[in-house]
Amino acid sequence: MIEDILKYRMLLEHTALHEDYQSRVQELAQKILQRFQNRQVDRTELESAIKREINWPLGSVSPQEVVKDVAAALRGQLQVASKSRQPQSAKKLLARLAEYAAHELTDELGNIFPDGDPHDATVNVFQKIINNRNQLSRLLGADAQNISLDDVVDVTNSQGFRLQDWFWNVLYPGVVTAFKKHNGHEPWDYLAILWDENYPGQPNPYKS
């Protein structure tokens, strides 16, 4: 009798979890559909977009299983291309975004010196990009018309990073490279040199 009750409770819990999961899959499918309903999307973009929208504990379910289930829910409702959509163009746009961020970071570092932290300055630059995420042409020029930050992220985000992690893991290395190309040093070293030039003989907070 007790064993039957326990089995029944387990069945109810399993059913509830299954229904909750299916509900989340449908909600996520609708969100993805709204985003891509006006254009064709390739599989890489679709998988990246789904992974970035997963915002609930997965438990024993893998992100790839969620991608598969959401894609199944979208079947027949979304135009999915079999080949990646101009990945080279996305990489070029990523490089241009890194160049833009490097120039902005130079200005930000000048504004925060001598008290600021390069990390905070970088966050300010990223926030400016986020504020213009739906129309990058405001930052990169007319040839980026109708291209959003999400478009760039989806094509360059094979690991499915959330946006904040994408900034630090994908965009930021390019920002440092561009910054060093234009200023001769990475951000911390750049501030350390500024400090020595302006406050010779004083302890330099930008040197470890």
User: Which pLDDT band holds residue 14 (cuts at 50, 70, 90)?
Assistant: very low
- Reported confidence tier of residue 75, pLDDT bands at 50, 70, 90: confident
Is residue 13 over pLDDT 70?
Answer: no
Residue ranges of the alpha helices (H) in the chain?
2-36, 43-53, 63-74, 87-112, 118-131, 137-140, 149-155, 163-166, 172-183, 187-198
59 band by pLDDT with thresholds 50, 70 and 90: low
Band (pLDDT 50/70/90 cuts) for residue 55 is confident
Domain positions in the chain: 2-81, 87-198
Cβ atoms of residues 153 and 126 within 8 Å:
no
- pLDDT category at 150 given cuts 50, 70, 90 is confident
Mean pLDDT, the chain, as a whole number?
Answer: 80
Please report where in the chains the tokens 């130079």 appear, as a residue: 106
